[in-house]
Structure 1
Amino acid sequence: MVSFPLLLSGTTDSPATLVATSAYGHEAIAAHGHTAVLSWLAAAGADGVEIRRELLPPDFADFIGLGQACADLGLAIVYSAPERLWEVDRFATCLDKQLIEATELGAGAVKIPMGHYPGGSQVDWAALRERLAAAPPLLIENDQTLEGGTLEPLSACLEDAASAGCPLGMTFDIGNWHWTGNDPLAAAQRLGPFVRYLHCKGVVSDQGHLRASVPDDGELAAWHTLLAHLPTQVPRAIEYPLQGQDLTTITAKQLSRLRHL
């Protein structure tokens, strides 16, 4: 079973708490840049940052420099890439590129969607073990699709990986289960042993369409129950909108809410 990196293990009093850069939205990132975002997080007391590949320029190449900027501010890194691990009957062609980028960043883990898992008998787990040997821990996330965000295929993939001795863990996105019609608590009960990282976001229905939102107190109470089925002190990240004039103060408040779950 993959172990989450020690630099994100938090303290004895509270878990490591991060913020995904996507929480600020594309417009804020474009207007202020990653340097400003990292300074907001450091000032707000975040333990780390989730760098989102889709918010970097397509031709971005200075992953070493970006990683150093995070390190200078004391921010641990999770790297999130949007390309999937599986493409029906093979590994996605971009997997090695994502692992190289994560390594150059100095990321403690790399998070990607599972994609279309082909099934254990069609998977060369030994080949994947070899590719992951020198890379940060790889965590597949339940996304908002039926093939990559429902309980059965995710469970099959993680259980097969464990049986094959392949270091594959899970990012558990609390909100995404609502998009695929799954119960987050039932998912936590079944997948809890594989979870190494927690994505937190509230969910509301807006004219029949779901969207991420700041969690209300009722949602936080439900999350507290869910956490009992996950590893103790699992690192968690804000992945819901952070908007307003004083983003440092707003971020600090939301970090405190998650730490006190």
Structure 2
Amino acid sequence: MISAVDIVIVASAFGMDAVRADGHLKWAQASKRAGAAGFEVRRELFADEADAAAPRLRALGEATVGLGMWAVYSTPASLYASDGRLDAAALRLALDEAAALGARVVKLQLGGFAGEAHGAAIAAQMDSSHVRLVVENGQLAEGGSLAQFTGLFDALARDGRAGLLGMTFDIGNWAWRGVAPLDAARLLAPHVEYIHCKTTVGEGARRFPAAPEADDDRFIAVLDSLPRDVPRGIEFPFDASRLEADAAHYVEWLAAASTEPVVKATPATPATPRSHA
């Protein structure tokens, strides 16, 4: 038996419109009541750009700590521009905003990584930061390619920068790229420091994130193939008619599914699909 891992609720699980309308703090409070250890703040869900200003981020962060929780700060910005260059300005902004929030982890999209990691430039910015940097596999070809992620970590190792940053492994997002999550997990597990938990329903342009089915052994197999001591984030949408009950149910289920021995998933009927990355 391993120790319980931290379960994080991603703000968008409560519904993007609800978060924009009510603000993140309301849903951090709901996450606490549901039993989550952490809460993921999503920059794209701020109702106003002023919400990303340092005083408001600091207030949200202090309130989150006051709840006894820790924060992830997620931004849709990419670490690498489309031409492969490091987007140093985007990284600096993300680090500064995450620091104001008091986040433990800051998450960016990978973007257009093309072989050169620019490790020294990233390290220079990270030297003054107390936030852990991770990049996430996205749904688009740019920033969602398995080869990009294996290439990134290989490049960092060649440069003597292994461990400079980690990965958010989004189980569901691989479906948009036609990659089996288990195959990706076997290659990337050593670099995974945070897991976004969701599956998908539908195909092509009509594919949506969803909660795992009760008999989804493939999902559990992916969890088993990833580090068992890293936080798991619930990123699938909760049922809008029973948000808090759904949140509590899935926190309990995911905590059980993340420990040994593996507990068979028994989630409720998946919620109505909502599109979010």
Q: Scaled by the length of structure 2, what TM-score is found?
A: 0.85
1:41 is aligned, of 24, 31, 35, to 31
Residues of 2 paired with 1:201 and 1:232: CA distance?
17
User: Is the 2:15–2:240 contact (alpha carbons within 8 Å) kept by the matching residues of 1?
Assistant: no
Counterpart in the other structure of 2:49:
58
Residues of 1 paired with 2:197 and 2:180: CA distance?
15
Equivalent pairs: percent with the same residue? 35
Residues of 2 paired with 1:59 and 1:79: CA distance?
16
Residues of 2 paired with 1:113 and 1:70: CA distance?
24
> 1:138 is matched by which residue type in structure 2?
L
What SS does the aligned partner of 1:217 have? Answer: coil
Shift of 1:224: 1.9
User: Is the 1:171–1:199 contact (alpha carbons within 8 Å) kept by the matching residues of 2?
Assistant: yes
User: Is the 1:16–1:234 contact (alpha carbons within 8 Å) kept by the matching residues of 2?
Assistant: yes
What SS does the aligned partner of 2:207 have? Answer: strand
Counterpart in the other structure of 1:234:
230
User: Is the 2:134–2:166 contact (alpha carbons within 8 Å) kept by the matching residues of 1?
Assistant: yes
Counterpart in the other structure of 2:122:
128
Counterpart in the other structure of 1:18:
8
Counterpart in the other structure of 1:27:
17
User: Is the 1:17–1:259 contact (alpha carbons within 8 Å) kept by the matching residues of 2?
Assistant: yes
CA RMSD of aligned residues (A): 1.7
| 1:154 correspondence with 2:149 | yes
User: Is the 1:162–1:168 contact (alpha carbons within 8 Å) kept by the matching residues of 2?
Assistant: no
> 1:85 is matched by which residue type in structure 2?
L
Shift of 1:214: 1.8
> 2:100 is matched by which residue type in structure 1?
E
What SS does the aligned partner of 1:85 have? Answer: strand
User: Is the 1:161–1:168 contact (alpha carbons within 8 Å) kept by the matching residues of 2?
Assistant: no
What SS does the aligned partner of 2:138 have? Answer: coil
Are the structure 2 counterparts of residues 110 and 225 from structure 1 closer, same or farther at C-alpha, using a change threshold of 3 Å?
Answer: same
Counterpart in the other structure of 1:251:
247
Shift of 1:213: 1.2
What SS does the aligned partner of 1:114 have? Answer: strand
Shift of 1:59: 2.6
Q: Could you tell which deviates more after superposition, 59-68 or 204-213? A: 204-213
User: Is the 1:15–1:234 contact (alpha carbons within 8 Å) kept by the matching residues of 2?
Assistant: yes
Residues of 2 paired with 1:111 and 1:100: CA distance?
13
Counterpart in the other structure of 1:8:
none
Residues of 1 paired with 2:135 and 2:22: CA distance?
30
Cα deviation code 1:15-67 (max 9, x no counterpart) = 10011101112221133322211111111111010000001122321111110
**Structure 1 residues without counterparts, runs of 5 or longer:** 1-10
Residues of 1 paired with 2:57 and 2:9: CA distance?
18
2:104 is aligned, of 105, 108, 113, to 108
Residues of 1 paired with 2:168 and 2:174: CA distance?
12
Shift of 1:243: 2.4
Matches within 5 A, 1:148-227: 148-164=143-159, 165=161, 167-205=164-202, 209-219=206-216, 221-227=217-223
Residues of 1 paired with 2:104 and 2:236: CA distance?
22
User: Is the 1:174–1:201 contact (alpha carbons within 8 Å) kept by the matching residues of 2?
Assistant: yes
**Number of residues of Structure 1 aligned to a counterpart in Structure 2:** 248
Q: Could you tell which deviates more after superposition, 127-136 or 70-79? A: 127-136
